[in-house]
Amino acid sequence: MSEPVDSGATAVADRGRAEVEAVLQGRSRRTAAVSLIREAALLPVLVLLIVVGSLVSSAFLTVSNFSGIGEQIAALGVTVVGESLILLIGGMDLSLEGTYGLAPMVAAWLMVPVAEFGSGTKLSPYLAIVVLLAVGATVGLLNGLMIVKGRLNGFIVTLAMTIILAGLQLGIVHGNTLFNLPSAFLYLGSASIGAVPVSFIFAAIVFIVVGLFLRYHRTGRAIYAVGGNLSAARAAGIKVDRIRIGVYIAGSILAAIGGLIEAGRVSAVTGQQGFQEGIIFPVFAAAVIGGVSLRGGRGNMVGAASGVLLLGVVQNILDLANTPNYWIEAIDGVVILIALILARVIGGEATAE
């Protein structure tokens, strides 16, 4: 039965509040501790892996090996940032691997002479990088429009898109590999400052900038709101559609940059890069192992980065252990599953779901 609208109710609430706050204070401290554990969930696993690595090979704990790991994970890392953003808004983009292959292929094709299967336009490498970014942006925009405005299923849209992109990637060069690319184009993926690969520094900067953006920028916070509860975000007046489309574009641009780094690392663009080598699996695995939820709204760049590091170290150990080539994929899969289970056990409910 309703009480008269007066200050009486406030008094009632105030009386109860002191007790409740006392209880909640303890709970808050516990919550904080739990969230810290979650963010650092993979740290013990990484330490364990480093111990295992050093036992497997004396070459593991060397500067050159770590520099190699850094070089290898940079391309994956930048793409994982893109996928994590899309997962955070509650989406899913399988076409990042297609963009990862097609964007550098289009750029390379525009730079290389006809005799080497290029278009013969001999575009400057700087303009080529602009084209590469534009290809990424276009793919992201198309995905975003179809999924957000067209209300098509994101899984199928991006699955179709990745196959289209991979087909284009082979089609424009008739399945050939493009070599002899300008050094400015290869710089990001191949150069080093001392023992530290430029690509690794670049990837680290991407993680830090995106991490800060997500934590402190109003659009970054809106990404969490949209992924956590889309209709609540809409009811709060957030421009939900614009943010979702924007995130699809940003994700694809990051995947294109990932492709650029990979092209620099191997000094070529192959028809296999991206889709055919199945890069989307480690991309998803790293994000999910790092605690980015496939249901949206949960996860951060600290987790995503540790997921990438973990996969890179595992890959490296398998290489050093001279795992027979035919078995490497099976072992890779098993290791990813184990990492996922460990992340779940250590990180609790919210991780690896």
Partner 1 sequence: MSEQIASAASAAAPAAEAAGIHKQFGSTQALRGVDLTLYPGRCLGLVGRNGAGKSTLVSILSGIYPADSGEVRFDGVPAPPLGNVRAWRDRIATVFQHSMVVPGLTVAENVFLGRQPRRAGLIDWRRMREQTRQVMAEWGFQIDVNRPCADLTVEQRQIVEIARALAAGTRCLLLDEPTAALERGAIERLFARVRQLTASGVAVLYISHHLEEVFEICQDAAVIRDGELVLTGPASGLSKDDLVTAMVGPDAAAMRADLTRAGAGRSTAAPAADRGAPLLVIDHVSAESPGGRVRDTSLQVRPGERVGMTGLLSAGVSTLARIVAGAAPYESGRVLLDGKELPPGRRDLALRAGVGYLPEDRQADGFVSALGVAENSTMTITDWLARLAGFLRPQTRAAAAAPLTRALSIVSAGPDQPVGELSGGNQQKVTAARALARKPRLIVAITPTRGVDVASKTLLLAELARVTAETGAALLLATDELDDLAICDRVIVLVRGERFTEFTEPPFDREALIAATEGMARDAAGGGAGKGNASTSARPAGAQPAGHADSPPDSDRQGTP
Under the binding rule (CB under 8 A), the answer on residue 250 touching partner 1 is no
Q: Could you say which of 57, 176, 192, 229 contacts partner 1 (CB under 8 A)?
A: 229
Under the binding rule (CB under 8 A), the answer on residue 149 touching partner 1 is no
- Using the contact rule CB under 8 A, the part of the chain among 77-85, 92-100, 220-228, 335-343 near partner 1 is 220-228
What's the closest the beta carbon of residue 278 comes to partner 1, in angstroms?
32
Under the binding rule (CB under 8 A), the answer on residue 24 touching partner 1 is yes
In contact, 297 and 353? CB cutoff 8 Å: no
Under the binding rule (CB under 8 A), the answer on residue 345 touching partner 1 is no
Q: Whose Cβ is closer to partner 1: residue 264's or residue 303's?
A: 303
Under the binding rule (CB under 8 A), the answer on residue 221 touching partner 1 is yes
Q: In a 3-state reduction of DSSP, which class is residue 92? A: coil
Under the binding rule (CB under 8 A), the answer on residue 239 touching partner 1 is yes
Name which of 343, 348, 341, 319 is nearest 332 in CA terms. Answer: 319
Under the binding rule (CB under 8 A), the answer on residue 4 touching partner 1 is yes
Q: Could you say which of 235, 330, 334, 337 contacts partner 1 (CB under 8 A)?
A: 235
Q: Whose Cβ is closer to partner 1: residue 2's or residue 322's?
A: 2
Residues between 271 and 310 that touch partner 1 (CB under 8 A): 297-298
Name which of 21, 35, 31 is nearest 298 in CA terms. Answer: 35
Query: What is the DSSP pairing of strand 192-193 with strand 196-197?
Result: antiparallel
Q: Could you say which of 224, 248, 275, 284 contacts partner 1 (CB under 8 A)?
A: 224
In contact, 78 and 257? CB cutoff 8 Å: yes
CA distances from 84 to 41, 44, 270, 287 (A): 17, 22, 26, 6
Q: In a 3-state reduction of DSSP, which class is residue 69? A: helix
Under the binding rule (CB under 8 A), the answer on residue 9 touching partner 1 is yes
DSSP labels, 285-296: HHHHHTT--TTS
Alpha-carbon distance of 316 to 318, in angstroms, equals 5
Sign of CA dihedral 332, 89, 83, 286: negative
What's the closest the beta carbon of residue 92 comes to partner 1, in angstroms?
19
**Residue ranges that bind partner 1, judged by CB under 8 A:** 1-6, 8-10, 12-14, 16-17, 20-21, 24-25, 27-28, 31, 216-219, 221-222, 224-225, 228-229, 231-239, 297-298
